[in-house]
Amino acid sequence: MSRLTSAALAVLAATTVAVLAGAVLAAPASADVPEGWPEAPGVDILTMLGLFVGLPVLMAVVIVAFMYVPPVVRGESIKPGSGPVTDQWLGGPRRSAGELAAPDGAQSRAGGASGRW
Partner 1 sequence: MAAGDPFSSSERAALDEAMRQAEQRCRAEFSVFVGASHGDPRAFATSLHNSLVAPSRSVLIMVDPSARAVEVVTGGHVRQELTDHEVELAVASMQNDFAAGDLAGGLRRGITMLADHAVPLPSRHGEDDD
Interface residues with partner 1 (CB under 8 A) are 74-77, 82-93, 95, 97, 99-104, 108-117
104: amino acid identity, one letter = D
> Shortest distance, CB of residue 84 to partner 1, whole angstroms?
6
* Closest to partner 1 by CB, 22 or 103: 103
> Shortest distance, CB of residue 67 to partner 1, whole angstroms?
17
> Shortest distance, CB of residue 70 to partner 1, whole angstroms?
13
* Closest to partner 1 by CB, 23 or 90: 90
Q: How far apart are CA 26 and CA 4, in angstroms?
A: 33
Neighbours of 16 (CB within 10 A): 10
* Closest to partner 1 by CB, 22 or 93: 93
* Closest to partner 1 by CB, 32 or 87: 87
Q: What is the CA radius of gyration of the chain?
A: 38
> Shortest distance, CB of residue 61 to partner 1, whole angstroms?
24
Residue 56, Cα to own-chain centre: how many angstroms?
14
